[in-house]
Amino acid sequence: MNPPRHVFRWDLDKTYLRTEFDSVGDLFKNAFETAADKQAYPGATALLRALRAGEGHRVCIISGSPSQMRTVLAAKLALDGVEFDEFVLKNNLKNIMRGRFRALRAQVPYKLPALLESRAGSPPAPAETLFGDDAEADAIIYCLYADLVAGKVAMNDLARILEAARAYPDEVTRTLAAAERAPRGDVVGRVIIHLDRRSPTAGFRRFGPRLVPVYNYFQAALVLYADGLLDARQVLFIAFEMLDSRQYQLPILANSLQDLIRRNRFAQPSALRLADELREVARTAPSTLARADLPPFEDIARAFTDRVRELKGAPPLPWPDTIAPLDYVALVDEEHDNRRKRGRRGAAPP
């Protein structure tokens, strides 16, 4: 097997799939849904297919969904035409049988070793992009994983972080062993967090510019375009899928582009270059791609160009000169406290 050029690691619930688990009723509903019942977020399917189609691209799905749902979830991905190279789910039934009830909700002791073992178990890629959401601890876990494989977190510090995450002793042993085996490298260039809970974006600035919170998958596509992982044509088809869902209109997508520029997550030169390339795509696209019920390609390019020009002279939100190293013990403690508060309000475990 040829070594991959780029690995894309995806979560499923609230990242790719619209999944509710805030009540016991939600859990029962999810358990009995068929593959056809499950809904992906607009644009997520087109984005994931575009990324997987790249030469040397590998897609690894690591989700907190129970492993007993593998058949249904794999069928949903097949219905969407999404191919993957690895699919890891959480064995919550095993946790229940062993009486490990805090493991049902804890994400750091589950997802961190799964990420490390995935990297250790296949030819390492020189670049990785990670996709998660704001429903749990994905921002913390992904940044910790990135810093671990980059050699920025010592093993004794990792042990302290796992203790703060309330990991069971065998989870600590497994994670430390996986961290030792995982090939080193500063490989995680981007972490994208889908704001399913509509969390304020300002709260993510402490993670630095590597992590980008997005409200929708058009914004994710724009970030990946700037990273050189998507071309203008692919961005256009992701926009078309979102417009076709009838949940988005062209002005909303234009607003999404403007929002990224204001937050200093998408540079104005990149936006203008994209608009120029979209016009070229529109000029050369076969007429069979046009849809009477969707905006013409030219209108999409024009809308984006107009929004970029509206921001000329308005400086984006600046980044500080230096970004403080992340205190993962404090972050894990904070996430644990937030999870307890949600539990007291009646939220069910994922």
The pair phi, psi for residue 109, each rounded to 5°, is -70, -15
In angstroms, the CA 209 to CA 22 distance is 30
Amino acid identity of residue 128, one-letter, is E
- Ordered by start, the domain boundaries in the chain are 6-209+321-344, 232-310
320-336 pLDDT per residue, tens: 777 889 999 999 999 88
The mean per-residue pLDDT over the stretch 97-106 comes to: 72
What does each C-alpha distance from 104 to 5, 163, 256, 312 come to in angstroms?
Answer: 34, 17, 35, 49
Write the pLDDT tens digit of every residue in 122-150: 988 999 999 999 988 999 999 999 999 99
**Can you tell me the distance from the alpha carbon of 129 to that of 117, in angstroms, rounded to the nearest whole number?**
16
Q: How far apart are CA 301 and CA 316, in angstroms?
A: 22
Residues of the chain by 3-state class (helix, strand, coil), percent to 5: 55, 10, 35
| Cα–Cα distance measured from residue 276 to residue 78, given in angstroms and rounded to the nearest whole number | 35
> Is the pLDDT score of 310 beyond 60?
yes
| pLDDT, mean of residues 93-98 | 74
Residue type (1 letter), 257: L
pLDDT tens, residue by residue, 211-251: 999 999 999 999 999 999 999 999 999 999 999 999 999 99
Residues 6+ apart with CB under 8 A from 322: none
Q: What is the mean pLDDT of the chain?
A: 88
Residue 278 has what pLDDT? 86
d(CA 148, CA 151): 5
pLDDT of residue 289: 62
**Candidate from 67-71, 76-80, 109-113 with smallest mean pLDDT:** 67-71
What pLDDT, on a 0 to 100 scale, did the predictor assign at position 232?
Answer: 93
Percent of the chain whose pLDDT exceeds 90: 64
Distance, CA of 218 to CA of 258 (rounded, Å): 12
> Which CATH number does the domain 6-209+321-344 belong to among 3.40.190, 1.10.357, 3.40.50, 1.10.3470?
3.40.50
Residue 78 scores a pLDDT above 80: yes
Return the beta strands (E) in the chain as ranges. 6-10, 57-66, 86-90, 128-133, 188-194, 211-214
Which residues are CB-neighbours of 287 under 8 A, at least 6 positions away?
none
Q: pTM for the full model?
A: 0.91
Q: What is the pLDDT of residue 115?
A: 97
Considering 25-29, 213-217, 312-316, 330-334, the range whose residues carry the highest mean pLDDT is 213-217
Tokens of 265: 């997550």
Q: What is the model's pLDDT at position 350?
A: 38
Q: How far apart are CA 220 and CA 212, in angstroms?
A: 8
Q: What is the mean pLDDT of residues 176-181?
A: 97
154 CB contacts (<8 Å, ≥6 apart)? none
Q: Which helix (H) or strand (E) holds 24?
A: helix 24-32
CB atoms within 10 A of CB 322: 7
Residue 348's pLDDT is what? 45
Q: State yes or no: pLDDT of 92 exceeds 50.
A: yes
Question: Strand, coil or helix: what is 330?
Answer: helix
Percent residues over pLDDT 70 in the chain? 90
Indicate the pLDDT class of residue 200, thresholds 50, 70 and 90. very high
Spell 147-164 as b/e; 16+ CB within 10 A means b: bbbeeebeeeebeebbeb
Higher pLDDT, 307 or 161: 161
Q: Which residues contact 169 (CB under 8 A, 6 or more apart)?
A: none
